[in-house]
Amino acid sequence: MSAAPRPAARRRSRWLAAVPPLVVLVELAGILLVGEALGAGWTLLLLLAGAVVGGLALVRGGLGGVRRVAARARDGRTDGRAAGRELADAGLVALGALLLLLPGFVSDLAGLLCLFPPTRPLVRRLLGAAAGTAALRVVGLRRGDVVAGRVVVEPDRPDGRSGPGGPIEGRVLPPRDDPRP
Contact 65/93 with Cβ under 8 angstroms? yes
Calculate mean pLDDT across residues 3-18.
Answer: 67
pLDDT class of 104 with cuts at 50, 70, 90: very high
Domain that holds residue 48: 7-152+168-173
pLDDT score at 106:
94
Q: What percentage of the chain carries pLDDT values higher than 70? A: 68
Inside any domain, residue 2: no
Inside any domain, residue 20: yes
Calculate mean pLDDT across residues 32-59.
Answer: 93
pLDDT score at 133:
81
Q: What are the residues facing 172 on neighbouring strands?
A: 146
Inside any domain, residue 16: yes
pLDDT score at 9:
60
Task: Give alpha helix (H) positions in the chain.
Answer: 7-38, 40-57, 64-75, 80-101, 105-115, 120-139
Cut 0.85: pTM above it? no
Residue type, 15: W
Inside any domain, residue 117: yes
Residue 44 in this model has a pLDDT that exceeds 70: yes
Q: Could you tell me which of 171, 137, 127, 174 has the C-alpha nearest to residue 8?
A: 137
Inside any domain, residue 158: no
Rounded to whole angstroms, how far apart are CA atoms 132 and 137? Answer: 9
Number of residues written out for the chain: 181
- Looking at the 3D structure of the chain, how many domains does it have? 1
Rounded to whole angstroms, how far apart are CA atoms 175 and 181? Answer: 10
Inside any domain, residue 157: no
Question: Is the C-alpha dihedral spanning 115, 118, 121, 126 positive or negative?
Answer: negative
pLDDT class of 112 with cuts at 50, 70, 90: very high
Inside any domain, residue 77: yes
Q: What angle do CA 11, 17, 19 make, to 5 degrees?
A: 110
Residue 154 in this model has a pLDDT that exceeds 50: no
Inside any domain, residue 126: yes
Residue 107 in this model has a pLDDT that exceeds 90: yes
- Burial (CB < 10 A; 0-12, 13-18, 19+), residue 46, is middle
Tell me which DSSP letter residue 4 carries: P
Residue type, 175: P
Calculate mean pLDDT across residues 48-75.
Answer: 82
Residue 147 or 150, more confident: 147
